[in-house]
Structure 1
């Protein structure tokens, strides 16, 4: 079991329900349009935690967060539709956590992209320098070949 699976048990639940037919209830938490009890949520993901994740893990986490944003948006719309006061129903904290986590995922992926661009640039420079050195070594000048042949004849005599 990977560290990601242990640290994010909702994904394990999603794997178990992967083949279940999906419908409108996917947009509601626990099948209810407006939750009756307050659910406990954690904090937003830190960039330092996301840097150690693989691309696949970040991709999965992005879609879990996107689904959470959709659930929260559906709940907000239902609360508006039923004229529920914001003081009784507000998921602003959860929305901010989702937005922060998604922004940090984008930041980490951009860091990786910039590092890749820089690495390919350095590799191109190194390849060009190596090609220049190989070109200088492989094409002897006229004077140096005569000096080399004279040195060989002196050594053989």
Structure 2
């Protein structure tokens, strides 16, 4: 009974099969439709707004960043190719696409900075305290100070100070 089952599954891989929708193509990715310069201008959309980007997850923003980076590289390649072939730049004008890419990338940076600031505000980290923490972490990594030294200093972590104040507030409210 066991032998027929073995024959049935013989040759079937037990490894998970990955189906990638994106297949890297090498240098072809820097050219649209396999051409160094497009024959006709492709109509494109607008830049992403910050409001749209705020609704995206970290993973989506990361993927979008690299898609936009690849698009900027493609457009820069086309611009250089036009200059190399002495083609009039007015004929080959992708400035709208370049501007849209740059705006979208700048807005992604803005959204991520806003998220960082909101997080730091939520846990009670201020800018000076953050600088002090980074300085202490750097010193610890370089071996200048030890973990024990960090525990002795009370201002090394704004998070721990804010958590202490939250704990003391909660202790008083639990008696009510």
Q: Tell which structure's C-alpha radius of gyration is larger.
A: 1
Is 1:32 the counterpart of 2:35? The answer is yes
Q: CA deviation at 1:125?
A: 3.1
Distance 1:133 1:41 in 2: 54
- Residue 162 (structure 2) pairs with residue 125 (structure 1): yes
**Can you list the C-alpha shifts for 1:113-145, whole angstroms capped at 9, x where unaligned?**
00000011187536425337749x9xxxxxxxx
Q: Distance in 1 between matches of 2:162 and 2:62?
A: 32
Verify: 1:74 aligned to 2:49, yes or no: no
Residue of structure 2 equivalent to 1:144:
none
Give 1:105-124 correspondences, 5 Å limit.
Answer: 105-121=108-124, 124=161
TM-score where L is the length of structure 2: 0.62
CA distance in 1, matches of 2:170, 2:53: 41
Which residue does 1:87 correspond to in 2?
A: 90
Greater relative contact order structure (CA < 8 Å, 6+ sep): 1
Find the counterpart in structure 2 of residue 57 from structure 1: 60
In 2: Cα distance, 1:132 partner to 1:52 partner: 33
- Unaligned runs of 5+ residues in structure 2 are 1-19, 126-158
Structure with more of its chain in helix, by fraction: 1
How many residues of Structure 1 are paired with residues of Structure 2 in the alignment?
A: 121
* TM-score for the superposition, normalised by structure 1: 0.70
- How far apart, CA to CA, are the structure 1 residues paired with 2:170 and 2:82? 71
Structure 1 equivalent of residue 15 of structure 2? none
* Dislocated runs of 4+, deviation >2 Å: 122-127, 129-135
How many Å separate the matches in 2 of 1:130 and 1:79? 64
Distance 1:80 1:109, change over 3 A: same
